[in-house]
Structure 1
Amino acid sequence: MNTRANGLPFKLSIIAATLFAYQPSLNAAESSEIERIQVQSHSSYRSTATKSSLKAIDAPTSISIIDQALLKLRQADSVTKALRYVSGVTTESRPSISIFDQFNIRGFDTYQSFYDGLPLLSNNSWNLYPQVDAFATDSVEILKGPASSLYGLVPPGGMVNQVAKYPSKSQNTKLIATTGSHNLIELGLDSTGQFADSGEYRIIALGRSRDGQQDTTENERYLFAPSATIHFSEQTNLTISAYYQNDPEMVPSTPLHSIGTLYQAPYGALDADAYAGDKNWNHYEREVFMWGYKFNHQFDNGWTFLQKARFTDADALQQNMYNKGLADDNVTLIRSAYSTDEQIRGLTLDNQLAGTYSFANSQHAWLLGLDYQTSESDVAYRDTLGQNTASIDLSNRDNNMLVVSELPLDFYQEDHQIDIKQLGIYFQDEINWQQLTFILNGRWDSFESTDIADNVYAGSEYGSTTQIEQNAFSGRLAALYRFSNGWRAYANYAESFEPQSGSDTETGLAFEPTTGQQTEVGAKYQSDNGQNRLNAAYFVLKKDNLVTTGQAVDPNTNETRSMSVQTGQVEAKGVELEFNSQLNKDVSLSGNLTWLDMEVTADLDQNLVGKTPVWVADFMASFWANYHFTESFPGLMLGAGYRYVGETQMDKYNTDTVSDYGLLDLVAAYQFTQNDVKLTASVSNLTDERYVGACYDASNCWMGSERMVEVGVEFNF
């Protein structure tokens, strides 16, 4: 994410807010299968936590799974909405923004999402982040803690993987129609079945249009995702898939000032629909095409080979605004207009060879893997730097002021050519001995990138080339013990890495990758019938080798000057509790609690040491209950949830806090007993509470989501 405030570049950390895990499904039968999810019927499915068939309940790590039934029940049309009720995860600090899915896991931001175990390609810097709609997703799996030992470049907090819907032999066609707040209109088709003795197909299509929460904004999406599986034999199959998504109109991130959102302004307080952009300028459109395949073969000796590949071709145009603070009247917001025109093309590939063998009294499941990704992206950035860009009176907002042809977008220009290559080789030994399961992981990564930039400032041309060539090793050691009464105890140590550009001003040496290390202990419980589950985890997670900048004394000259050194560290300590319970055939309950203590433990700027990073709540909680009227009103289900997010910091120096908030959500569903028709309804933020989602600093705050109502009908045949 690249934008500017007060003339300096900064990354807009994004979408974060609270919420739940291990949800109960619509009935007891579905609930007992939530650990496996339907996708495991596909022969090439492997768990996000281990890239093996090990069930989530038996994995010595923290993982939460949300299945398709819950995605639809909660009317979750994005990953950020799907994660509302997952412990340790905040997703909606900027809930009205729709151009990307970004979340905070265990206190650490991540822009990287995975689709079917492969990363959705981005250059990790700008605004083009492909999204996969929840309607095309069978489940969402959230792995908490460092995951680089299997996936390479991943932030230390964890990762989110959307598992794709696969073709099925069982013929079924689903049609959905939904309407609701902000003129929502949504139509969807999901059809699967057998097309020959040795093949299955699936076709997914969706169209959605709705007004944005902020004045004059809109969201519009169209997707088409066909796939086919061909069985060459009982041991060999190939799935070919394509995914096309066109987003003609989406809502970019346009911040407001803390005065008017967090604090009272001379005119009072801004409503949730307040907008600092302009309808003539602010705009975001994106087009994404992905096609790929999965090849799965089982050898006669029991070993299997899985190869997954995906090619991505995507582009996006953003026209947006940032603010340069308020004028002295605390009413007039000074603005700058900018645009980003981006394209990315690339390939991701993952090869997995898996097999089992016995040694003494232990069973070993080996996994050998090699993955590779390469991408080329072009970025054109234009910025008025406030020149001839109309300010806006927040007390009497006019979102129809700008004359686009008069904006001096050539005042500041950046043109980038970014090439990225990453190669990873990994190994896993999953050892089962009596009631014990051990996981040993190791992975070596080679990362290379080149960023060639051409700049123009006020007519003066200049440029630069930034190169990164870094290698990293990441490991994981984990163990779980299964007791006979349904309890499990586990512990793990895991590592992560992220490439880092630049060089140390003190030594002149190129920076090393930033690294993460986590130590975690926990307990899991599942009853014999699978209807009662409990998870508890305690973790200590550190991120090292952070680049810190500021004024410091140069040890070589004893002079105070601007320094950039790789000595920063952030530490997060936390406790997560989750439970799911099917009390009887009618009542199911689930909930979670999260305590998080996060602070900067080392920084060149000593004023930051001991401070909590922005957008990190020290406490979160959520609770959900479903009731099925099995006897009195068969087919009817009512559900209610409450999610609470504690205080967050207003800025990195912790000069003030953003108030806590709690939101109430409701859902209802009615399944007609005589046919395959279901009616659904949902309300989020039932009381329409006004709240501030988060602030990056005093000049950059975002309002929370207002009440949203949706009703839908689903036909299955």
Structure 2
Amino acid sequence: MMPLMKHTLRAAMLLAGLTLLASARAATLDIAAQPLDAALAELAEDTGVQLIYDATITAGKRSPALSGDYAIDQALTRLLAGSGLRHRRNDDGSVTLEPAPTTSGTLAPVAVSAQVATKIDTPTLETPQTINVVRREQVEEQGSETVQQALRYTPGVFTEQIGASQRYDYVVLRGFSDDSIDNIYLDGLKTMGDGGTFSSMQIDPYFLERVEIVKGPTSVLYGRASPGGLVNLTSKKPLFETRQEVTFSAGNNQYRGAAFDFTGPLGDGAAYRVVGLTDQGDTQFDHLEHKRRAIMPSLALDLGDNTTLDLMAYFQDDPQGGSHSGVPAEGTLYPRNGRYISNRFFEGEPAYEQFSRTEKMVGYQLRHFFNDAWSAQQNFRYLTSDVDLQQVYSFAWVGNTDQLSRFYSGADEQLDAYTVDNQLQGLFATGALRHTLLVGVDYQHRDVDAAWSSGSFPAIDAFDPQYGAAPLAITDPVLHERKLIQTGVYIQDQIALNNWRFSLGGRQDWVRTANVNTDTGARSSQDRDQFSGRAGALYRMDNGLAPYVSYSESFNPSVYTDADGDPLEPTEGSQYETGLKYQPRQGRGLYTLSLFHINQENLAIREPQAAVYVPVGEVRSRGVELDAQSQVTDRLRLQASYTYTDIEYVEAEEDIEGNRVNQAPRNQASVWGHYRFNGGALSGLDVGLGARYLSGIEADRANTLNVPSYTLMDASIGYDFGQLGVRGLSARLNANNLLDKEYVASCYSLNYCYFGAERSVTASLTYRLR
């Protein structure tokens, strides 16, 4: 269970599951004058207090500086002075912030906000759409090494599409596996993925405060998008107090790493943060390694006159990118000549194996509050990525032998992209209706220059591999240029009427795509415009129940071509969703039930070994998601989920119509528990244990085989050495796939099945200074 708290602007690190036992004691505070929500976040981190409030009530408000020894009540009274807000204690020790009493009464407590779903801070409980949030604490507890690993316990999310590979973050949402690499955003901007090339970027989870998952179409606010939803990564932001953290890690497969996170003030009205890491190790596959170096500096500036500016930069170098390959179903799902392929088998050639990627990003967020009701914001990011690839990969068995045929792929790519999003937000009333209006204009521009080569290699014995073969043939590189330009205008109105919450939105997009073979001059391009809409209604009952219903649309233009060289039609999606959310009045849990029905038209799939995409028709996904997160006691936190997804081809080609889409589990269930010892000889110790179950994964579009179901166990043990007088020092031991189960995670086709990750054990030692 994750604590239900509100994060905004610079704050996303409110501590989980702590009570206000310390609230009567004085705390030494040093909080700069700044926007109120940022000051509240610092107070929460310094004291462990759980704050519950609606972000709209703090928008545009500022707080005075606070320095000295204060009890919680005293500190909140000072910070809220002149804001028109008050605080009150809850039975569980948390604190609710609310408007001071008026003749119309006060607001009820609310919890976690989901800014990415609406581009404004709206409580999750009041959003008529399914939203999940993975916080920093959960990432650390579960030892997640990638973003996709951080989502393993999230309902409706499948993250083992390519098995043990960690090169990219594949996130299958509600069964939509195509373009699953292209649905990740960073701080609300779509700059991460580029489906169809090797130039998709990856952010290490150490640089993130939280990950938000929005289910269903999101084109109204973000333009081109998958109908399954999106994943938004929220980066660490500067804090106006000194924090220093250093971590050293080691694990199996010769893994070793080091990381640091420093933040603090730079005089009045400025704060910095520098986060960095380096790590490397072998992989479970022979002859393959992964290496990474990354750093992210950022700067927060209070420019006065209710204006703030956040600057960030990110640099990441991956000299070695680990594995990204599959082997046939025969030999993995069932035996080949009486034998199974080892889950460590490397089918390539060490001398022709390379994946190096360099990522660079710079960006800013500029926000100005005109008054307590109106504000404007501009988000901007520019990025560039360079990828060099060489890979020898298997395709199919040679006759009845133990030999796998092999091919060669090479690439030299450069991606350049920038995105800008301009927003105007206002709060006003028309009679009994309270409006939160958002109007925006955004622009995306992406260019990829690529040189692709191909070839063939001698076959290899899958059960007794011998390396050192030379290529049979490698073609000269073929030069390609791919471009996408999108301009969108959108409007959204969130309306409150007593206990009712309504959401209405619309967007018009203009998109241009081009794909050019610069060697031959062959060119395909298209200009498209598209309208997307969304509507939803939710009723928030006084007992904590909130039933809702919503409709939303998506579209995604394609830069791919068909067999005739003509550009493909954009995919279009629509979703109907209804559900029920429940948050106990004490704020110690969040429980959701959602039922969804999604249709996607104009789907096209690339056939293995083909340079073109083949239209296959329409896909329909429907199902149910259950999610329960509960702070059972002050020491015990539980989260559990179940997802049933029925996704199949409808109105498709005759040979696959009615078949289930592969790489999409029919059933997913998970449970994670975390317990902290607060007294006795075990004081300072915390333990976590989890289980993940997946079944009903088809191995190919013809549905000729099923991937066997599998259950995986994960565990975590942590210790705070502050109990022994060493303040700030802690240790953690994580084991993923604790029982070292060997399994096949999924299959793209009968020629490409992917081994799941073996047991991973990592120990870390962290020193934090505050």
1:167-188 deviations in whole A, cap 9, x for unaligned?
Answer: 0112101111111111111100
2: CA distance between counterparts of 1:79 and 1:325? 31
Q: 2:585 aligns with which of 523, 528, 540?
A: 528
How far is 1:266 from its partner?
A: 2.4
2: CA distance between counterparts of 1:661 and 1:348? 41
Partner letter of residue 408 of structure 1?
A
**Correspondence 1:111 to 2:181:** yes
2: CA distance between counterparts of 1:430 and 1:206? 41
**Correspondence 1:684 to 2:736:** yes
**Correspondence 1:518 to 2:589:** no
How far is 1:270 from its partner?
A: 2.1
1:544 match? 601
**2:114/2:124 contact within 8 Å kept:** no
Q: 1:449 aligns with which of 485, 489, 513?
A: 513
Query: SS in structure 2 opposite 1:606?
Result: coil
When structure 1 is superposed on structure 2, of 213-222 and 292-301 the one drifting more is 292-301
1:510-554 deviations in whole A, cap 9, x for unaligned?
Answer: 75421000000011111122212211000001101335899xxxx
**Correspondence 1:392 to 2:460:** yes
- Residue correspondences, number: 670
How far is 1:454 from its partner?
A: 4.2
**1:522/1:537 contact within 8 Å kept:** yes
**1:521/1:538 contact within 8 Å kept:** yes
1: CA distance between counterparts of 2:487 and 2:3? 33
**1:42/1:166 contact within 8 Å kept:** no
CA 249–504 in structure 1, closer or farther in 2 if over 3 Å, else same: closer
1:645-688 deviations in whole A, cap 9, x for unaligned?
Answer: 10211110001111110001000111123301111111111111
Unaligned stretches of 5+ residues in structure 1: 1-19, 456-461, 551-562
Query: SS in structure 1 opposite 2:513?
Result: strand
How far is 1:92 from its partner?
A: 1.2
How far is 1:322 from its partner?
A: 2.9
1:402 match? 469
1:88 match? 156
CA 450–153 in structure 1, closer or farther in 2 if over 3 Å, else same: same
Map of 1:200-279 to 2, 5 A cutoff? Answer: 200-233=271-304, 235-266=306-337, 268-279=339-350
CA 485–565 in structure 1, closer or farther in 2 if over 3 Å, else same: same
**Correspondence 1:606 to 2:677:** no
Partner letter of residue 249 of structure 1?
Q
2:746 match? 694
How far is 1:273 from its partner?
A: 1.2
CA 184–547 in structure 1, closer or farther in 2 if over 3 Å, else same: closer
2: CA distance between counterparts of 1:152 and 1:313? 21
CA 567–394 in structure 1, closer or farther in 2 if over 3 Å, else same: closer
Map of 1:642-681 to 2, 5 A cutoff? Answer: 642-673=691-722, 674=725, 675-681=727-733
**2:712/2:738 contact within 8 Å kept:** yes
2: CA distance between counterparts of 1:232 and 1:173? 25
1: CA distance between counterparts of 2:416 and 2:649? 37
Partner letter of residue 677 of structure 1?
L
Map of 1:68-467 to 2, 5 A cutoff? Answer: 68-109=136-177, 110-112=180-182, 113-233=184-304, 235-266=306-337, 268-300=339-371, 302-384=373-455, 386=456, 389-398=457-466, 400-403=467-470, 406=471, 408-410=473-475, 413-454=477-518, 462-467=520-525
Percent of aligned positions that are identical: 29
How far is 1:509 from its partner?
A: 9.3
Partner letter of residue 509 of structure 2?
D
CA 41–114 in structure 1, closer or farther in 2 if over 3 Å, else same: farther
Partner letter of residue 27 of structure 1?
G
When structure 1 is superposed on structure 2, of 463-472 and 136-145 the one drifting more is 463-472
Query: SS in structure 2 opposite 1:77?
Result: coil
**1:49/1:56 contact within 8 Å kept:** no
Give the TM-score normalised by structure 1.
0.89
1: CA distance between counterparts of 2:276 and 2:650? 49
Query: SS in structure 1 opposite 2:388?
Result: strand
2: CA distance between counterparts of 1:165 and 1:221? 19
1:624 match? 672
How far is 1:57 from its partner?
A: 2.1
2: CA distance between counterparts of 1:21 and 1:381? 45
**Correspondence 1:471 to 2:529:** yes
CA 298–692 in structure 1, closer or farther in 2 if over 3 Å, else same: same
1: CA distance between counterparts of 2:437 and 2:3? 28
How far is 1:418 from its partner?
A: 1.5
2: CA distance between counterparts of 1:43 and 1:90? 39
**Correspondence 1:493 to 2:551:** yes
CA 418–36 in structure 1, closer or farther in 2 if over 3 Å, else same: farther
Partner letter of residue 473 of structure 2?
P
Map of 1:9-24 to 2, 5 A cutoff? Answer: none
2: CA distance between counterparts of 1:657 and 1:548? 20
CA 213–548 in structure 1, closer or farther in 2 if over 3 Å, else same: closer
1:129-154 deviations in whole A, cap 9, x for unaligned?
Answer: 11111011110000000011111111
1: CA distance between counterparts of 2:288 and 2:679? 46
How far is 1:479 from its partner?
A: 1.1
RMSD: 2.7
Query: SS in structure 2 opposite 1:391?
Result: strand
1:5 match? none
2: CA distance between counterparts of 1:615 and 1:535? 25
**2:60/2:372 contact within 8 Å kept:** no
1: CA distance between counterparts of 2:335 and 2:562? 43
Give the number of the structure with larger relative contact order, counting CA–CA contacts within 8 Å between residues 6 or more apart.
1
CA 334–424 in structure 1, closer or farther in 2 if over 3 Å, else same: same
Unaligned stretches of 5+ residues in structure 2: 6-14, 20-43, 62-112
**2:60/2:306 contact within 8 Å kept:** no
**1:21/1:86 contact within 8 Å kept:** no
**Correspondence 1:707 to 2:759:** yes
How far is 1:585 from its partner?
A: 1.8
